[in-house]
Structure 1
Amino acid sequence: MARRSAVGRGRDTAVVEETAVPGRALGTSADPWETPDLDRRRGRSGKRRTRAGGRWGGSGGRWWVWVGRAILWALILVILVNGIRAPFERFTADDGTSSSEAKPGKSAQFPSSAAGAFALQFANVYLNYDQKNAPAREAQLRTFLPDNADPQFGWNSVGQLQVQSVQVAGVDARDASNATVTVLARSQDKWYRLAVPVYADKAGALVISARPALLP
């Protein structure tokens, strides 16, 4: 046992007994006046450690930033593409709607049904002729033809033709006043296809505007 003398600190004195290890001198760490709690709080540099140590996140959270930026740019690109494409789609849709509405409107203004019936009656007279009754045919044609037209409308008063059936195949209206009526006629075992031009005025009156064309 080694006994250490008391050290005076003001008025207080203390006597500390230490157990000496044989062959080893007493170290400074055995100083009884140094508080053990302070030793645990000191680092190698002698500075005190703080309990509330901050944690450094490092670069581990940066990938969230890049993901957020990528999503933001993708959203911006989608908005730009939709904003540019929408006017073109609206423009093409308007053109398609206007063109589809224009065609029925044009044909609806022309009296297609009346023109078809008118051309059918005309074809029955025009395709039936005989040189023996040419004056009767001329009188019947007069109700279909415009003023100052050829009374026989191209027939030279020679030969004869008689058809058994006549039917309307279609009406092609070019505008509100003009249309071409396609007529099919059968004479015995032969078929004729005739294109009859019809004119309609604003009052609804109809007239054969030109000589019919025989189609193949």
Structure 2
Amino acid sequence: METQKINFKNLARFVQCKSEPIKPSSRQIQQSFRVNVVVLGSSGCGKTAVIKRFLGKPLPKTHIPTLEDVYDGHYTLKSFHTTVLLRIYDTDGSDRFPAMRNLAISEGQAFIIMYKLNSKESFRIAKETVDEVLQAKGEGVPIYLVGNKCDKPSTDHVVATDESIAVSREKKCYFTVTSALMGINIDKVFRELALLMVERRSLRVDERFKSSSLLDKKTDTNE
């Protein structure tokens, strides 16, 4: 089997998020950290359009297959006094470059797995991708199952909402429908993933603090 060579210099294209939200001044920020969000799904399901809508960038006028792009966008969660740098991996929707896909999954901390509401095949691939991510990352990894193109007439929808909800419950992941064209639920997906990662990080910090406090008390007792 021929080994694929990845040109890491050309792998990433960084785009600063300017529209939502505005990055606050340093005095307002108590903490900040980065989250790698990997967007997966079949070719043509709207991955690039969803990402660009979130970043406030012009939507692509025609479908051009993505090799792999990486975007950076800051997201501020005021309630946590935290700025999250979302590093968003826009992956290839085919099986042409499995090495790059595997690399993105291995680097991912949160995942958006998309399908088209008007394509049963796209939904089948999305379900398989959820299983692939769970197998690679383990249970508990944040996954958002997203049915895109909800702006299409309901008569064109071939994937029932109940079916998608059932899959999300079985796989213990989140679910919503979106429209990159209309901007429906785009911000919600990224915001909820960012919020979840901040909450998890806060819990880990609390646990480390408690463990350190218990160790200090034990040391004091021994003395």
Check whether TM > 0.5.
no
Q: Which structure has the greater CA radius of gyration?
A: 1
Higher RCO, 1 or 2 (CA under 8 Å, sep at least 6)? 2
Q: TM-score category by the smaller chain? A: under 0.3
Q: TM-score, normalised by structure 1?
A: 0.19
